[in-house]
Amino acid sequence: MTAISKQLFLGKAEQLRMVVESFLLYLHKILNYYILDLLWLFGLCEERAVIRQSGESGMEKKEWRILAALSVVILCLVFLSCIPFSGQTGISTGQDVRAEQGWKAHREETQENREEKESEAEEGTGEKKETGLEVSGFEEDVKKAKEAEWTTLEQKEKNYIKLPKKNTKKSREVYLQEHYMASQIILDIDGASPGSYKYSDIKRKFLGKSYSGKLKQEELLKNLEIKQVRGKGKTKLRLIFTFQNIFEPVLYETGNAYYVTLKEPDKVYDKIVVVDAGHGGMDEGTSSWDKKDDEKTYSLTTVKHLVKKLREHFKGKKVRVYCTRTTDMNLSKYSRVTFANKLHADLFVSIHCNASEAGEHYISGLETLYANVPLKYGSLTGKRLAQIMLDELSAVTGREKRGIIDREGLYILRNSKVPATIVEVGYMTNPSDMEFMKSEEGHEKIVKGLYQGIIKALRYGSH
């Protein structure tokens, strides 16, 4: 320990010693002066005056009981004051204090307060800091450069990033990857060293205005990170661009540079769908009646199959399907709903599983939730979307419809500016529902019902 820590420790120890000595003296007084009253109290002697010393009067029963209660209280206080010293130095570190304060705040906060705090601070998306970038909203299929004329790009595109070809007579392999939940675009350049590119080499153009060198506050690029990564026996240079907005990037190659053009998704696609897998990471959601399955895993599996089916259906069409998470990770409600709002999505569908809070295993069926809130984008209402999803899911699965429920208290539904619904695909606390959900046939029907519901909702919104 440091000198200051030792002084603090000795001060605490001295205080404890004084408290213990005071208590022992007080206890000694009780035993010497009032022992006879104690014996009389329990009927061990009949005449108090006979065995009391002259000049001393015994206490009444009421007085004795007050003194006894006070003594017990003092004993408890001394015992509690000794606890921090048991097996410790008696010094609380700043980390301990912060942890205690955090736990106190955690207990006092209601669920609604926690959700509101998420909206006040733009939380990270739980990105895993690893070479594989196995993160939410990360597109696994990398995109190679398309050939183009630089004059065409610089004259026609209002948003782009320009990366000159350097230190090589031949073009390197350059790949583009998206991490749209974090508003990031990642460029990998095979064989390039960290010193190959400086910040001043990377030219940017946003809203028709050109930038270079240090990032400017007014430009749409928030951060640029350049680092070297290794993978599969290769060394490559990675450039991570973080933007204020979500963009749809396209990578082009010209004779002397690489270009990444950036367009708003709603300017590229006729329809945008956001599918959300509820919960994730430390938030497991509900669990099955036998505690063998959890909601976060089932919702993610369902969303993966659903998104694949939707993307196959819309292949070659101007419809983009996004999903909020592709792995088991923490993702705030704020991040999910803000993502859909930024995209000006036509539909936002969040997949969940239900449970009976009281533990009644007999409750079963399908539900969809919505909120009657004003919408900024889309031609559907949340209520209409919820009804379509419930009808299609029930028609395909044959499961009971419990109805659509107005839940304005739920953060995602209350803060969505696009048509949104939460779909509860069954009760995990009901053995029959759980058996159907886990079966291969049942799961396929659930995915099909969700798929048909989204297709129908998009058509309805086009009218």
Distance CA 136, CA 236 (A): 23
In the sheet that 271-277 helps form, which strands lie side by side, from edge to edge? 319-323, 271-277, 347-354, 420-427, 366-370, 401-406
Distance CA 38, CA 95 (A): 49
Residue 110 domain flag? no
Whether residues 246 and 175 share a domain: the answer is: yes
Whether residues 232 and 279 share a domain: the answer is: no
Q: Which residue has the higher pLDDT, 234 or 100?
A: 234
Question: What is the count of structural domains for the chain?
Answer: 3
Considering the chain, what percentage of its residues have pLDDT values greater than 90? 47
Q: Is 308 exposed, middle or buried (0-12, 13-18, 19+ CB in 10 A)?
A: middle
Considering the chain, what percentage of its residues have pLDDT values greater than 70? 66
The string of DSSP codes covering 129-180 is -STT---TTB-SS-EEPEE--HHHHHHH-SSEEEEE--S-SSPPPEEEEEEG
Q: Is the pLDDT of residue 131 over 70?
A: no
Whether residues 321 and 255 share a domain: the answer is: no
For the segment 272-289, the average pLDDT, to the nearest whole number, is: 94
Whether residues 361 and 373 share a domain: the answer is: yes
Token pair 């923490």 is found at 330
Least confident of 54-58, 64-68, 90-94, 121-125: 90-94
What's the token pair of residue 120? 């006040």
Q: Is the pLDDT of residue 134 over 80?
A: no
The whole-number pLDDT of residue 128 equals 37
Least confident of 15-24, 154-163, 196-205: 15-24
| pLDDT interval class at 93 (50, 70, 90) | very low
The whole-number pLDDT of residue 105 equals 32
Q: Is the pLDDT of residue 47 over 50?
A: no
Whether residues 226 and 271 share a domain: the answer is: no
What's the token pair of residue 376? 């900024």
The whole-number pLDDT of residue 297 equals 95
Residue 159 domain flag? yes
Residue 35 domain flag? yes
Q: Is the pLDDT of residue 116 over 60?
A: no
The whole-number pLDDT of residue 136 equals 47
Residue 133 domain flag? no
Do 128 and 329 contact (CB within 8 A), yes or no?
yes
Residues 6 or more apart from 130 whose CB is under 8 A from it? none
Token pair 């007084």 is found at 29
Token pair 């990366």 is found at 163
Whether residues 279 and 257 share a domain: the answer is: no
For the segment 331-360, the average pLDDT, to the nearest whole number, is: 92
Q: What's the length of the chain?
A: 463
What does pLDDT average to over the chain? 77
E strand or H helix that includes residue 113:
helix 111-120
The whole-number pLDDT of residue 424 equals 97
Closest CA to 369 of 382, 379, 378: 382
What's the token pair of residue 64? 């004795």
Whether residues 388 and 297 share a domain: the answer is: yes
Whether residues 177 and 78 share a domain: the answer is: no
For the segment 15-19, the average pLDDT, to the nearest whole number, is: 60
Q: Is the pLDDT of residue 54 over 80?
A: no
The whole-number pLDDT of residue 8 equals 40
Domain boundary among 222, 247, 263: 263
pLDDT digit string, tens, across residues 3-13: 434 444 444 45
Residue 436 domain flag? yes
Whether residues 242 and 285 share a domain: the answer is: no
The whole-number pLDDT of residue 51 equals 38
Residues 6 or more apart from 418 whose CB is under 8 A from it? 274, 340, 341, 343, 344, 345, 346, 347, 348, 375, 376, 377, 378
Q: Is the pLDDT of residue 348 over 90?
A: yes
At residue 90, the 3 state secondary structure works out as: coil
The helix-helix angle for 431-438 and 440-462 (nearest 10°) equals 80
The whole-number pLDDT of residue 148 equals 66
- CATH number, domain containing residue 442: 3.40.630.40
Q: What are phi and psi of 319, to 5 degrees?
A: -130, 130
Q: Is the pLDDT of residue 90 over 80?
A: no
What's the token pair of residue 374? 């004003």
Domain boundary among 207, 238, 263: 263
Residue 58 domain flag? yes
Whether residues 302 and 449 share a domain: the answer is: yes
Helix extents (H) in 276-381: 295-313, 333-343
Residue 93 domain flag? no
Do 310 and 322 contact (CB within 8 A), yes or no?
no
Q: Is the pLDDT of residue 139 over 50?
A: no
For the segment 323-350, the average pLDDT, to the nearest whole number, is: 94
Whether residues 248 and 286 share a domain: the answer is: no
Residue 96 domain flag? no
Burial 2-15 (b: 16+ CB within 10 A, else e): eeeeeebbeebeee
Token pair 């000595």 is found at 21
Do 30 and 71 contact (CB within 8 A), yes or no?
yes
Q: Which residue has the higher pLDDT, 149 or 177?
A: 177
What's the token pair of residue 104? 């106190």
| pLDDT interval class at 254 (50, 70, 90) | confident
Whether residues 404 and 303 share a domain: the answer is: yes
Residue 177, domain extent = 143-263
Domain boundary among 241, 263, 285: 263
Q: Is the pTM of this model over 0.85?
A: no
The whole-number pLDDT of residue 192 equals 78
For the segment 305-321, the average pLDDT, to the nearest whole number, is: 96
